[in-house]
Structure 1
Amino acid sequence: MTAETPKCFADELQAAQEECAREPIHIPGAVQSFGVLLSFDSSIRRVWQVSANVRQHLGLTVNECLGASAADILGSSLLGRIRRGLANTDRMPGAMTVTRKLAGISRKLHVVAYRSGDAVIVELEPLDSSARYRWLSLVNDWIAKLVETRTEDDVLNRLCDAVRSITGYNRSLIYAFDADWNGKVLAESRDEVLPALMNQHFPASDIPSQVRAMYGNNRIRVIADAQAEAAPLVPAMNPANGSPLDLSQGYLRAVSPIHCDYMQNMGVRSSLSVAIYSDSRLWGLVSCHSQMPLSLSPSARDSVATLVEVASQRLFLLKAEADAHYRQQIHDNRVQLAHGVQERHAPRDLVQQHAEHWRQLFRVEGIALVYLGEITRSGKTPDEDQVRELTNWLDAELKEPEPWATTSLSASGYPSAEAIQSWCCGLLAMPLLIDMDARGWLLLFRPEQFEMIPWAGKPEKVAEVRDGRTVLSPRTSFASWVEEVSGKSSSWHPAEINAARDLGDDLAVIAAAHEITRLNEYLRRERKALAEANQHLEKVANTDSLTGTLNRYRIEHLVQMSMANAERYGQPFSLLLFDLDHFKQINDTYGHNVGDRILKTLVNSLTDGLREGDQLGRWGGEEFLVLAANTVIDDAAIFAERLRRLVLATEFGLDEPVTISIGVAEWGKGDTMKTLLVRADRAMYEAKHSGRNRVCLGRIDQ
């Protein structure tokens, strides 16, 4: 073996991976044998193509079908329903069940229709006319069980049991994708025929990018028998344009030969996969396997899809509740920090006071605060010189005022990472905008985490040549293989990153307020300089740097003043707590620069709609608070609705409208700041989960 061999092999493997990503799985030119496909012209008048197994299912020959009238094959009633169903969409809403007499035999058929380029495709699956199964009752029973779940694990385990009970597969499992599209099995239900895969990991190459993309067109993929011969389309190409048919939206699409080999190596012949989406992102899959061929009825297939949809909603609701609980913990800590602003505590004192709680909240070993040349450390951190060198590097590399996170300082490119102890392997760094000429930093350190990751077979692929193309050969073994992972910390959760942003903003305000006090003392005789410094720092302490509106601490102070007036003089007031709907999706799609512009436009629009005496402040992230003085809750509801309409009518420069969800609460006798805000927050939460873009009231008696 020459020295060049490893490089040649790497190049060959890279080429195979790229070829795999281009595999035309959406145009196989054939269908699975459990159904028949007919392709028509765009007006659905004549048959253009037919699958070769048409006699098996319809009793007609290929020649009898090609060029035949659509009305003769489908019947005028079914044809009319298909035309109406495809009048304004590319896929007919819902499937149909019809009885059609063909070749002298009455046949019960399941019908799916969709457009593919210039063609209209109709997929027909024969149904057992004698089958009488109480699908609706069974599904409702399982839905009731899913609704009763109280933990994420319970949802996943119950869904696995439900799917296997309905379908009869030997094994059903659920696995979620990580950031690199590797999958981990989180739940499993099985009999003794197939081995357990619980907690096993699957490499991203097992479900390559073009396969994941296909779930965006059709969230269900069923393979009745991976070893059955596929039925080719006749003719192979669309006679109108000479192109192959895109079968992405159907159920009959033939299976890739590579995937057939994969299933054979896995020891299964039949499978069902149903995608689980969180908002617009593929979160994971429900995957079912059978050692023997299994032809799943359309009713069972639809039942599984319904259960997955219900379970997904329950799963992500529980996740949202967990995130809300975490946010409440952060909020409670921020309320405590607010006293640090009012009492002008030094930031270093607050770090020492709250460090242990922060370490628990962020699951870190050490915390360091760096501002104006001063370093405050708590727990396991690098030494002062190393912290200073690290922040110098961060200042040079990171220009945006956003949190930065890594699970490996070494892998992130930090040149002095090797000199730092293993308990500082992962870093979450939040820049603090304290001074116009210098930034501070809040640094959170996580230790190296040694992991033993079980894989369902060693995650390696081998390049081989098939039909003149270099492709990836599927794995031949699924025996458990354990990978030892080191040099990385545990991952940073998005909620933790957002919380670090809020905490950093708080510390920046506290540091600015502390600096005001220090400058007042230091520059007592320098009146002019003192006035200029106070003007700048008071602005930092009272206004939000991005939107120019009141910041959290200023609006909170005004709320406290209103509470005192309400208590003493009986002056009513209400709070309107709202945030932008789908703001994370806007940031992910258009970038944070566009997100910042949206926030500024929102504030400009709302400012015009405020009444005299109303106060608008940024509560954190995309959340805002309006203090409506001398306003009872019913009048506040009318006012909130006006603001909601004002935002809806505002031009934000996006393809879709920008909306807000508003929670309204009125101060009542005995209310504290916390109870009033909790009531407004719950009302906003209700608005979110009632469809967004609406106003909900948090009355005291609710």
Structure 2
Amino acid sequence: MSKHHPLLQSFGALLVLDADSRHIQATSTNLEALVGLSASSQKITLNQLLGKRMAQRARRELQGQQRLAAPLVFNHGSDKQARLQLRAYRSGEHVIMEIEPLVIVGQRRLLGAINEQFIKLTEAANQDELLTYLVNEVRQLTGFERVTVCHFDPDWHGHIVAEAKDTQLPTLVGQRMAASDVPPTLRRAYARHPVRFIEDANASFEQLVPNDFPINLDASVLRAPAPERQCYMESLGVRSMLCVAMQRDTGLWGLLSCFSTTPHPVPASVRDAVHILVQMVTERLALLRARQEARYLKRVQDSLMPATSPHQEPQSPQQLLFNHADTWMTMFRAHGIALWIAGAVYQVGKTPTPEAISQFVIRLGNAHTHSGPWCTRRIAKEPLTSSLAMPEQSGVLAVPLPMNPAQRAWLCFFRPEQVEALYWSMQPTSQVTPSICNSPPAAWYEEIIGSSDAWQRVERLAAVKLGEDLTLAISSYEIGMLNMHLENERKALAAANQRLEQLAHFDPLTQVWNRYRIEQAIDTELVAAKRYGAGFALLLFDVDHFKTINDTHGHSLGDDVLVALARLVESSLRGCDYFGRWGGEEFVVLATHSDLQAALGLAERLRTLLTTLHVEGLKQLVTVSIGIAVWQSGDSCKTLIARADQAMYRAKREGRDRVEIADGEIA
């Protein structure tokens, strides 16, 4: 469909005005039928169409804005009984106005229903409950024959994960759609315009008058479906469709789609309600996922806690691996683990031969230089591993351990082949596609071999944290062994103790205190506070959108951001304050002899200072979210950190780049 000869659906009328919204330059051919004014007239004014007061209001609200904040409602016709609603937005140098009949669906009832839906959403405990609730509510709101939620995998293939439908229709849950059904251009369009409604794909469409007026109507809800979209709908056996994108910070998560085999009008207010409901569900899904990941990370972190305790006898790398391998294999869904340190290979479960692991590690050392993990789910097809003898393995996750600056150690998790049975809604090469609503699609079965389960983002993050704790535990063991030979190895002991100090107390990347050392400092301040009443404050902060930096620019630049941030903060603190890396992109400032007001001042100063941070290769502004907790009688290190953590996450929820104090503390 050429943007110079756009076609429009007839459930609403469209006007094109100049940038000041004063002169109508083009109208759709159904304007007369909708509002009683001829589309061919060149003397129509906005005042005639809307009335003088409404026209002035529309101009006023559009001044300096991209679109009207909300639709405007006005009466028209000789008896002034016809109620219409107007939406307006800018497209280049023009203003587009869309007019639809206002269908009364019980606004108060609709708002009350949305509020009730929000309450029910907060009660949903998992993704399946949320999505089942979503499709049922949307079907009840819209009356469509079928409502589905399609989730996109990393390769952009769709998977039908939820559905509500007429009882006589076959189910589509579990079927998949090829990535070609939602090509990149369509995905980008959904990112800009998340709602797409087609009332009747077979209807006669309206035109603009004059029909050669140059205007882009991609953002218009009235735009007619492109020929390829009409063909697609015809192949599905549907005539009406409403689609709403489920957009997260990380991109397009999925698509809610409503289908009908007959023309199906949906009032604008109902479409808006569906969009709001989809947004609420998408946010709730993200929250549930974050909670699930936090619990998982905690379990992984706690798995090695006894071995890293100062009161626990140090264990050798082999003992550590054997004692914890079963737990780790369960957590990481692996069937084998290998630990490679300075040429020595320790193995548990089903792993490649020591020779193959050594070759793998050597290649990794040359090809993978940053501190993040490396993984693949297709060993036989990955260039780095395809020539290695790993017959029982299909997936591997490798984490570097900074044991030695000259040569890193590696922790490797192996996964077996996971044969995956996929049922596609149609075979991509098929020329005949059955109706999606009238008869069961001829599902195309495909068996995926040679791949393991995918390594999830949270699993990769957990593996890195486990590697950091394992590095500390192994280093403690090595130092312990050196101390046993103190008399014979004095020089070696001195070097080892210096190395232990660095590993045990300082973060290897940023060279500031690590979590273990900052916890020691907090415990010391707690003792002083209890004994002498010497108050102090804790600032916990996190780099905003750090994952986006890593995903966009790579882990190497992400490391540079953390190092630069640490240097800037460290140089701006008082001599009596302590600073450390809590983990990942989180840092802690321990402000001694500080009350709440002093802590707030310090936090705001740090927040403002960090916006000036410059890192080569990074154009975006670096901001942080800061949570403050001030010592209270009865506090422990755990409770103090927990209150600061809650405040920090509240700062993130409130919009990031801000400071929040813990609950119960008054500024």
Normalised TM-score (structure 2): 0.90
Give me the whole-angstrom Cα distance separating, in 2, the residues matched to 1:118 and 1:315: 39
Give me the whole-angstrom Cα distance separating, in 2, the residues matched to 1:78 and 1:85: 11
Alignment counterpart, residue 489 of structure 1, candidates 430, 434, 452: 452
Q: How does 1:653-672 map onto structure 2 within 5 Å?
A: 654-664=619-629, 666=631, 668-669=633-634, 671=636
2:69 corresponds to 1:93: yes
The answer to whether the 8 A contact 2:379-2:396 is kept is: yes
Q: Alpha-carbon deviation of 1:217?
A: 2.1
Alignment counterpart, residue 300 of structure 2, candidates 326, 330, 347: 330
Task: Name the aligned partner's letter for residue 688 of structure 1.
Answer: K
Q: Which residue of 2 aligns with 1:691?
A: 655
Q: Alpha-carbon deviation of 1:532?
A: 4.7
Q: Which residue of 2 aligns with 1:614?
A: 577
The answer to whether the 8 A contact 2:607-2:623 is kept is: no
Task: Name the aligned partner's letter for residue 580 of structure 1.
Answer: V
What CA RMSD, in Å, does the superposition of the two structures yield over aligned residues? Answer: 3.0
Q: Alpha-carbon deviation of 1:137?
A: 2.5
The answer to whether the 8 A contact 1:663-1:687 is kept is: no
Q: Which residue of 1 aligns with 2:558?
A: 595
Q: Alpha-carbon deviation of 1:393?
A: 2.2
The answer to whether the 8 A contact 1:549-1:617 is kept is: yes
Q: Alpha-carbon deviation of 1:571?
A: 5.6
Give me the whole-angstrom Cα distance separating, in 1, the residues matched to 2:594 and 2:638: 20
Give me the whole-angstrom Cα distance separating, in 2, the residues matched to 1:262 and 1:665: 61
Q: Alpha-carbon deviation of 1:116?
A: 1.3
Task: Name the aligned partner's letter for residue 76 of structure 2.
Answer: R
Give me the whole-angstrom Cα distance separating, in 2, the residues matched to 1:356 and 1:80: 72
Give me the whole-angstrom Cα distance separating, in 2, the residues matched to 1:364 and 1:205: 32
Q: Which residue of 1 aligns with 2:590?
A: 627
Task: Name the aligned partner's letter for residue 52 of structure 2.
Answer: S
2:432 corresponds to 1:457: no
Give me the whole-angstrom Cα distance separating, in 2, the residues matched to 1:190 and 1:552: 52
Q: Which residue of 2 aligns with 1:15?
A: none
Q: Alpha-carbon deviation of 1:457?
A: 1.6
Q: Alpha-carbon deviation of 1:344?
A: 3.9
Q: Alpha-carbon deviation of 1:590?
A: 3.7
SS of residue paired to 1:550: coil
Q: Which residue of 2 aligns with 1:169?
A: 144
CA shift in 2, pair 1:25/1:684, >3 Å: farther
Q: How does 1:668-679 map onto structure 2 within 5 Å?
A: 668-669=633-634, 671=636, 673-679=637-643
Q: How does 1:244-323 map onto structure 2 within 5 Å?
A: 245-279=215-249, 281-323=251-293
CA shift in 2, pair 1:28/1:587, >3 Å: farther
Alignment counterpart, residue 156 of structure 2, candidates 150, 174, 181: 181
The answer to whether the 8 A contact 2:118-2:280 is kept is: yes
Q: Which residue of 2 aligns with 1:558?
A: 521
Question: 1:81-111 deviations in whole A, cap 9, x for unaligned?
Answer: 3322322232222222211337x87532221
Q: Which residue of 1 aligns with 2:11?
A: 34
The answer to whether the 8 A contact 2:482-2:492 is kept is: no
Q: Alpha-carbon deviation of 1:28?
A: 6.5
Question: 1:409-430 deviations in whole A, cap 9, x for unaligned?
Answer: 11212455673233x2111111
CA shift in 2, pair 1:192/1:598, >3 Å: same
2:418 corresponds to 1:443: no
The answer to whether the 8 A contact 1:458-1:481 is kept is: yes
Q: Alpha-carbon deviation of 1:158?
A: 0.8
Q: How many residues align?
A: 659
Alignment counterpart, residue 539 of structure 1, candidates 502, 510, 529: 502
Extract unaligned runs of 5+ from structure 1.
1-23, 463-472
CA shift in 2, pair 1:516/1:691, >3 Å: same
SS of residue paired to 1:201: strand
Task: Name the aligned partner's letter for residue 283 of structure 2.
Answer: Q
The answer to whether the 8 A contact 2:75-2:84 is kept is: yes
Task: Name the aligned partner's letter for residue 32 of structure 2.
Answer: R
Give me the whole-angstrom Cα distance separating, in 2, the residues matched to 1:138 and 1:26: 39
2:35 corresponds to 1:58: yes
More deviation in 295-304 or 514-523? 514-523
Question: 1:605-663 deviations in whole A, cap 9, x for unaligned?
Answer: 32244333321111111011223345566765554455444435656664445122325
SS of residue paired to 1:605: helix
The answer to whether the 8 A contact 1:170-1:193 is kept is: no
CA shift in 2, pair 1:348/1:131, >3 Å: closer
Give me the whole-angstrom Cα distance separating, in 2, the residues matched to 1:28 and 1:602: 53
CA shift in 2, pair 1:475/1:657, >3 Å: farther
Give me the whole-angstrom Cα distance separating, in 2, the residues matched to 1:696 and 1:269: 54
Give me the whole-angstrom Cα distance separating, in 1, the residues matched to 2:409 and 2:546: 27
Q: Alpha-carbon deviation of 1:407?
A: 0.9
Question: 1:175-213 deviations in whole A, cap 9, x for unaligned?
Answer: 211111111111111113543211211111111111111
Q: Alpha-carbon deviation of 1:397?
A: 2.2
SS of residue paired to 1:237: coil
Give me the whole-angstrom Cα distance separating, in 2, the residues matched to 1:623 and 1:338: 21
Question: 1:138-182 deviations in whole A, cap 9, x for unaligned?
Answer: 323323322322222111111111111111001111121111111
Task: Name the aligned partner's letter for residue 575 of structure 2.
Answer: E
Task: Name the aligned partner's letter for residue 167 of structure 1.
Answer: T
CA shift in 2, pair 1:59/1:159, >3 Å: same
The answer to whether the 8 A contact 1:633-1:666 is kept is: no
Give me the whole-angstrom Cα distance separating, in 2, the residues matched to 1:698 and 1:343: 39
Q: Identity over the aligned pairs, expressed in percent?
A: 37
Q: Alpha-carbon deviation of 1:670?
A: 7.5
More deviation in 252-261 or 73-82? 73-82
The answer to whether the 8 A contact 2:314-2:477 is kept is: yes
Task: Name the aligned partner's letter for residue 321 of structure 2.
Answer: V
Give me the whole-angstrom Cα distance separating, in 1, the residues matched to 2:322 and 2:530: 36
Give me the whole-angstrom Cα distance separating, in 2, the residues matched to 1:377 and 1:346: 14
Task: Name the aligned partner's letter for residue 549 of structure 2.
Answer: I
CA shift in 2, pair 1:675/1:382, >3 Å: farther
Q: Which residue of 2 aligns with 1:465?
A: none
Q: Which residue of 2 aligns with 1:222?
A: 197
CA shift in 2, pair 1:619/1:42, >3 Å: same
SS of residue paired to 1:123: strand
2:382 corresponds to 1:412: yes
Q: How does 1:87-166 map onto structure 2 within 5 Å?
A: 87-101=63-77, 107-128=82-103, 134-166=109-141
Extract unaligned runs of 5+ from structure 2.
none
Task: Name the aligned partner's letter for residue 685 of structure 1.
Answer: Y
Give me the whole-angstrom Cα distance separating, in 2, the residues matched to 1:340 and 1:290: 66
Give me the whole-angstrom Cα distance separating, in 2, the residues matched to 1:624 and 1:367: 31
More deviation in 298-307 or 571-580? 571-580
Give me the whole-angstrom Cα distance separating, in 1, the residues matched to 2:7 and 2:425: 31
Give me the whole-angstrom Cα distance separating, in 2, the residues matched to 1:415 and 1:428: 12
The answer to whether the 8 A contact 2:40-2:209 is kept is: no
Give me the whole-angstrom Cα distance separating, in 1, the residues matched to 2:229 and 2:570: 58
CA shift in 2, pair 1:634/1:347, >3 Å: farther
Normalised TM-score (structure 1): 0.86
CA shift in 2, pair 1:682/1:352, >3 Å: farther
More deviation in 274-283 or 507-516? 507-516
The answer to whether the 8 A contact 1:35-1:124 is kept is: yes
Q: Which residue of 2 aligns with 1:356?
A: 326
Q: Which residue of 2 aligns with 1:468?
A: none
Q: Alpha-carbon deviation of 1:388?
A: 1.4
Give me the whole-angstrom Cα distance separating, in 2, the residues matched to 1:449 and 1:274: 33
2:23 corresponds to 1:46: yes
SS of residue paired to 2:351: coil
More deviation in 86-95 or 287-296? 86-95
Task: Name the aligned partner's letter for residue 161 of structure 1.
Answer: N
Give me the whole-angstrom Cα distance separating, in 2, the residues matched to 1:383 and 1:280: 38
Give me the whole-angstrom Cα distance separating, in 2, the residues matched to 1:540 and 1:696: 32
The answer to whether the 8 A contact 2:12-2:100 is kept is: yes
Task: Name the aligned partner's letter for residue 584 of structure 1.
Answer: K
CA shift in 2, pair 1:582/1:416, >3 Å: closer
Task: Name the aligned partner's letter for residue 425 of structure 1.
Answer: S
Q: Alpha-carbon deviation of 1:459?
A: 3.3
Give me the whole-angstrom Cα distance separating, in 2, the residues matched to 1:251 and 1:625: 49
More deviation in 127-136 or 79-88? 127-136
CA shift in 2, pair 1:450/1:571, >3 Å: same
